[in-house]
């Protein structure tokens, strides 16, 4: 499987969440609190050089800090589906 960290995606990229780096116990709970889970499909809606990455999952816009985005592994779709 070709998985990459969410932080490596560009604006408008469509992705499927495949795995989390759960080395930190609070990280998984934080994702659950945000409504983020494996196998969800989303799109990067905003990404600048600095600051959080904004994603759209199930019609909800969620801002993810870059540290968190490095621990969320996704599969990028080559053709937009959203």
Give per-residue pLDDT as tens, 39-48. 999 999 999 8
- Tokens 């709970």 correspond to 29
Helix, strand or coil, per DSSP, at residue 53? strand
The Cα–Cα gap between 32 and 66 comes to 17
Kindly list the domain boundaries of the chain, sorted by start residue. 4-77
pTM, 2 dp? 0.86
- Tell me how crowded residue 12 is: count the other CB atoms within 10 A of its CB: 12
Give per-residue pLDDT as tens, 8-50. 999 999 999 999 987 777 888 888 888 899 999 999 999 988 8
Distances from the Cα of 24 to the Cαs of 8, 28, 30, 71, 76, in angstroms?
21, 8, 10, 10, 25
One CATH from 2.60.120.260, 2.30.30.90, 1.10.1270.20, 3.30.565.10 for 4-77: 2.30.30.90
């Amino acid at each position: 499987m070709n998985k990459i960290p969410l932080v490596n995606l560009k604006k408008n990229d469509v992705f499927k969440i495949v795995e989390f780096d759960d080395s930190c116990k609070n990280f998984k709970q934080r994702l659950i609190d945000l409504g983020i889970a494996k196998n969800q499909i989303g799109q990067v809606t905003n990404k600048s050089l600095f600051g959080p990455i904004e994603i759209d999952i199930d019609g909800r816009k969620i801002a993810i800090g870059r540290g968190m985005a490095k621990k969320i592994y996704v599969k990028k779709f080559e053709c937009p589906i959203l």
